[in-house]
Amino acid sequence: MAKFNWEKLLHTTWFYTKVFFAILALMTATYYWGTYNPNKKAVNSANETLEKFYIQKIKDMELREPEFIYSNDIQFVRAMHKCIDYINFSLPRLERVPYEMIIAQAALETGWGSSRFATEGNNLFGIRTWDKSTPHMIPIGIKKWPGWGVRIFASKCDSVKEYIRLLNEHPAYKDFREAREVFFVQNTDPDPLVLIKNIDKFSTTADYDKRVRRIILKIRELEEKYASDKNINGEK
């Protein structure tokens, strides 16, 4: 009768014991990581699905575009806020543009909404068209079609929508989109003072970003005073 090989049995048992605990450790680590550090791709996918559902529900509500009424700088800022809020209701988070950046550029391009293109054409950004059949305006002093015109919009909010679309789709603003994406990856709010450095192609003015920056700082002062006045007057 052959002698039983206890040494081989112990060796085999120890091997499978190590395999068992290795698998157990892996399963535990996977469970822990999946529970407390969920896969970013899965989380983003879930968020996108929820966001699409939310946006569709908002669209189904058929919200009305807010009136755009103003007679001074702070009223222009508040009107812009309402317009941007309205647009953002149906816009994915990753396609949104910081409020201050939008408002500052509109203020700079139109003299706080006082330009002819803003008051007569509802164009807050000097957005052009190269199609003569598109409703447009031509600068005063130019008699013939110069090959381009300043677009006319049905409402000022419509021009804001087009401005946002251009930043999200036009090849000239690829750097802007990449810079904005960095903030989203880091799960932080995009900083308009950083992003304005990537919109130099919006204007031929050499120090365009510096001008926008100054207006952003002015907007912050105006809104601080607006909030302070509301508190003093007991408004909500």
Residue 10 has pLDDT above 90, yes or no: no
Q: Which of 58-62, 158-162, 176-180 has the lowest mean pLDDT?
A: 58-62
CB 31 within 8 A of CB 37: no
Per-domain residue ranges of the chain: 8-37, 70-232
Q: What is the mean pLDDT of the chain?
A: 84
Phi, psi angle pair for 149, to nearest 5°? -145, 165
Between CA 229 and CA 234 the distance in angstroms is 8
Any idea which residue has 């529900």 for tokens? 57
52 — pLDDT class (breaks 50, 70, 90) = low
Percent of the chain with pLDDT over 90: 65
Q: Mind listing the pLDDT tens digit for each residue in 161-180?
A: 999 999 999 999 999 999 99
Q: Which of 52-56, 62-66, 125-129 has the lowest mean pLDDT?
A: 52-56
Helix spans in 61-148 (H): 73-88, 99-110, 116-121
9 — pLDDT class (breaks 50, 70, 90) = very low
Q: Where are the beta strands (DSSP E) in the chain?
A: 128-129, 136-137, 149-151
Q: Mind listing the pLDDT tens digit for each residue in 199-222?
A: 999 998 989 999 999 999 999 999
Residue 94 to residues 97, 161, 180, 190: CA-CA distances in angstroms? 9, 15, 8, 10
Q: Where are the beta strands (DSSP E) in 9-144?
A: 128-129, 136-137
Between CA 25 and CA 188 the distance in angstroms is 34
Residue 85 has pLDDT above 80, yes or no: yes
* Number of residues written out for the chain: 236
Q: What's the CATH number of domain 70-232, 3.30.1360.30, 1.10.530.10, 3.40.50.150, 2.60.40.10?
A: 1.10.530.10
Phi, psi angle pair for 89, to nearest 5°? -55, -35
In DSSP terms, 125 is beta-bridged to none
Q: Which of 151, 159, 183, 43 is nearest to 106 (CA)?
A: 159
Dihedral sign for Cα atoms in the order 20, 22, 25, 30: negative
Higher per-residue pLDDT: 181 or 64: 181
Question: Is pTM, for the whole model, over 0.85?
Answer: no
Q: What angle do CA 86, 125, 212 make, to 5 degrees?
A: 95
Mean pLDDT of 73-93: 94
